[in-house]
Structure 1
Amino acid sequence: MKNMKSNKLGTMPMNRLVLNLSLPMMISMLIQSLYNVVDSMFVAQISEEALAALSLAYPVQMLMLAIQVGSGVGMNAELSKRLGEDRRDLASETANNGVFLGFIHYAIFLILGLLLIRPFFQAQTDNPVIIQYGIEYTMIITTFSIGKFMQFVYERTLQATGRTMYTMITQGTGAILNIALDPILIFGLFGFPAMGVYGAAIATVFAQIVSALMAFTFNAKFNDDVDMKYKGFRPNWTVIKRIYSVGIPSMIMTSITSLVTFLLNNILLQFTSTATAVYGVYIRLQGFAFMPVFGLNNGMIPIVSFNYGARNKKRMIQAIQICLIYAISLMLTGTILFQLFPTQLLGLFSASEEMTAIGVSALRTISISFILAGFSIIMGTVFQALGNGMLSLWVNVIRQLVVLIPAAYLLSLTGNVHAVWWAIVISEAVAVVFSAIAMRYVYKQKIKPMSDNMEINRERFAEDS
């Protein structure tokens, strides 16, 4: 199996290889982005305050996602390593400790949901309607987040063992369930009571629990690479430490989004809650442009890393170029849609006249930065693949925090909400400059000195086969 994978990463035509490794994750991430979009579309039909409440709740959802992604990355890396060593016992131990961590993380958010949700919303707004809607939604998605945490663990186990098709089935089923249940539970169709925002949250957690049960079943029935039996289980703190040592950087990077959303929401609330609702809509819509690029990254990292290790300079550069072209193309498509159809996109969320006026300006302004973001994201991925994790982290920090928040605050002092959106364009432009300078440094240090050992590598792959 190992040699087959090596031959694939080292010899398969590059365009085909990139699509082969990236498409499943691109589709998976698009499906995941549907959850928030669908909830928001139906909740917007309740009221603009309800939509604003979901926008204020978004940092909590992103914080949960940060924990899930970070621990998932760490578990995946450790699990793949043990499988590569042909140590099924250690791979199984890693998977079981991953499940244990899933329960621990759920317990943390259960406590946070019960104790801190009300002060979290009261710290952001004094509008009692928004506070109540926010508490209703966030209380459910935190206290019943067991499904989401377990879904993530079991899906990562399937991915690490090469069973990505099953993860697409579980995620697709969850998304379809959520879409179907949202109008039924929110508006009270087919004899169900109308539960409003509660209904949106219940639809989400129910779909997540079903997906988790499916992922558990797929592992039990079809995944013979790991033995997930829990009788007599005891946590292995050494394994847990290794999971966190790999996963914490990813947790930090994803947590930045949570912090930025919280801070930007509070800047926008100085104008009107409508501006916050617009930003919430933007976050959900931009996922359809950004998520495929993040999926592309997942396929790009092993290709660049493998060919860097194999000293195959030509294939490594080819992979970077192809991924950059795809990323910019995806972002260009998003830019065109946001520029040409902002009113129609906002209409999906039952936008009022005021929300449309603010939203059209926001979508058109922010989408100018999409292509810049695509370049920075790919460069950050290259740094990560070549072992320059701190450079990758700095690209993300500059894009989302160091420049964005100060710029947004300064622009808010103009008293014009439309000026605030330019902070995102400014931060992406600065990130591009930093990424280009950093890439030049990395190229000189790591890529340029490499001799292209393509012929030698072909002979070596032939011998390994």
Structure 2
Amino acid sequence: MQTRDMTSGPPARLILQFALPLMLGNVFQQFYTFVDTMVVGQALGVGALAALGASEWLTFLMFGLVQGVVQGFSVVIAQRFGANDEEGMKKAVSGAIFLSLGMAAAFTVLGQLMLRPVLVLLHTPEEIMGLSLGYLRILYGSLPVAFAYNLLAAILRAVGNSKTPLQAMTISSFCNIVLDILFVFGFHLGIPGAAFATVLSQVLAALFCFIKLQGSGLLSGEQSLLSLNQETCRPDRTMLKEQLKLGLPMGLQNMITALGGLIVQSVINGFGVVFIAGYTAANKLYGLLEIAASSYGYAMSTYAGQNLGAARFDRIGRGLKAAGLIGTATALIMSAVMILFGRPVLGCFLTGDGAAAAAAMEIGYHFLQVLALFFPLLYILYIIRSCIQGLGNSVLPMVSSIAQLVMRTGCALLLPPLIGQSGVFYGEVCAWIGADLILACSYFYWMERLRRL
């Protein structure tokens, strides 16, 4: 299986070569929710679409936590890979598996207990409460599957392989499309059918990554990263502490982001089903166009981690500059897509009552216009934050997430009384600005500290 050493060669080329397969893979991964939403909106109408929207931030709350902690575990693997520390890599992989098993069990139970009280707390309209709850119970029950896929994909990315996760997501996303159509249109299972399609498709992705890892020898055989003997299978306490030190703040960072989203969602829920539907449809396109940003972030995290392990500090700054230029150019293209193609894409989700669908369309397109004006700020945020995380610091990025929380929720609570319901849209932009300012200062501070060690 291919791995990639990112400690030598042109930074821009390395980052692009690593990010492009991730980008395609993440596009397919977004199809899980994108197709769910499109099929539900077309088959079941505005009310069902609003039910998915009301559950969106609760979905991100738990699954963002999973992705964050696992990404933190994998930073340690990338650092050991960059340092050519084979024994350290084995301990890091073993520790990541041990921690993921425990967290998967705990989060699954906790998630099921919290769902209904939180939906009530968010002022979810009664007419969509049952639909949202049923959808979320199925997704939260699949958390062990989410841990399995994210961990296996993170191990692959840590050693420079971004193609296998792409292949996994390509296969599973096509499966998801077929199952969505079959369960919702064919078997008339409604929103639960869309949820089951998502879960089964992610099972397929996890199995594919596992089979590839087994075949490559990274998880089996005498020279594997996880040699099956008593010494390497026993969790190493020092390694577990190091991985938790990185993983927990990164998971909390996503939870902080989700908390801000939940507060915004509670405000939006008060505006009624039509506003929820328009906001949800716009968020789906926003999520697709955000994918390149997260892909550059993953590439920057691996790049920074490997070069830190190799003590190549000069390359880290060059890589960050290259990624920033690439990200800005990409973001401008995505802004153009939102402006030029926003309405046709929103039309893929909104159907049913003509007046309601038209009103939802205007709400969604206004949101896209606001995002498009400032989209490069989001890409810079992902790149700098991931760079700092790859350098072994997950606390400073978490501080930036707290700034996002304050700005996003502050705007959502204060602006609507002043300028109307659209005031909630500006919370996203203000959150990006606040986080970027903190992250830029954090990067220079942390690099200077590392150079002095």
Aligned counterpart in structure 1 of residue 17 of structure 2, from 17, 20, 23: 20
Normalising by structure 2, report the TM-score: 0.85
Matched residue, 1:364: 369
Distance in 2 (alpha carbons) for counterparts of 1:431 and 1:238: 31
The 5-angstrom pairing of residues 6-85 of structure 1 reads: 9-10=7-8, 12-45=9-42, 46-81=44-79
User: Could you say which residue in structure 2 is the equivalent of 1:246?
Assistant: 246
Structure 2 residue aligned with 1:198, among 161, 169, 192?
192
| Residue identity opposite 1:104 in structure 2 | G
Structure 1 residue 283: Cα displacement: 2.7
Q: Secondary structure at the match of 1:9?
A: coil
1:310 counterpart = 2:312: yes
Shift of 1:50: 1.6
Residue deviations 1:366-386 (CA, integer Å, cap 9, x gap): 222212323343343454456
Shift of 1:37: 1.0
TM-superposed deviation, 1:266: 0.7
Aligned identity (percent) is 23
Q: Distance in 1 between matches of 2:165 and 2:447?
A: 40
- Return closer, same or farther for 1:168/1:423 CA change in 2, 3 Å cut-off: closer
Superposed, which structure 2 residues align to 1:340-351 within 5 Å? 340-351=340-351
Runs (5+) with no aligned partner, structure 2: 219-223, 352-356
Aligned residues: 435
Distance in 1 (CA, whole Å) between partners of 2:226 and 2:399 is 39
Q: Please list the CA deviations of residues 77-124 of structure 1 after superposition, one character each: whole Å capped at 9, or x if unmatched.
A: 333455567665664454344334333333234323443322222222
2: CA distance, partners of 1:428 / 1:34:
25
* Structure 2 letter corresponding to 1:204: T
Secondary structure of the residue that 2:290 maps to in structure 1?
Answer: helix
Closer, same or farther: CA 9–333 of 1 in aligned 2, 3 Å: same
CA–CA distance in 2 between the matches of 1:443 and 1:241?
Answer: 21
The question of whether the paired residues in 1 share the 8 Å contact of 2:125 and 2:269 is answered with: no
Q: Unpaired segments of 5 or more residues in structure 1?
A: 451-465
Q: 2 CA distance for matches of 1:109 and 1:435?
A: 29
- TM-score under structure 1 normalisation? 0.83
Question: Could you say if the C-alpha distance between residues 416 and 51 of structure 1 is closer, same or farther in structure 2, counting changes exceeding 3 Å?
Answer: same
Contact 1:66 1:250 in 2 (8 A): no
Equivalences for residues 77-116 of structure 1 within 5 A: 77-81=75-79, 91-116=89-114
Shift of 1:177: 0.8
Task: Give the equivalent residue in structure 1 for 2:354.
Answer: none
Distance 1:151 1:229, change over 3 A: farther
Q: Is the 8 A contact 1:92 1:228 kept in 2?
A: yes
Q: Structure 2: how far apart are the matches of 1:228 and 1:26?
A: 32
Q: 1:135 to 1:388 in 2, by over 3 A?
A: closer
Change beyond 3 A, Cα 1:85–1:371: closer
Where does residue 290 of structure 1 map in the other structure?
Answer: 290
Q: Which residue identity lines up with residue 421 of structure 2 in the other structure?
A: V
AA matched with 2:399 = W
Instruction: Pick closer, same or farther for the CA change 1:28–1:229 going to 2, 3 Å.
Output: farther
Distance 1:216 1:282, change over 3 A: same
Output the aligned Cα RMSD: 3.2
Which of 192, 205, 210 aligns to 2:204? It is 210
Query: Partners in 2 of 1:87 and 1:169 — Cα distance?
Result: 28
Bigger radius of gyration among the two: 1
Q: SS at 2:270's partner residue?
A: coil
Write out per-residue CA displacement over residues 235-292 of structure 1, whole angstroms, 9 at most, x where no aligned residue.
5555433321121121122112211221111111222222223332333221222221
Match of 1:417 in 2: 421
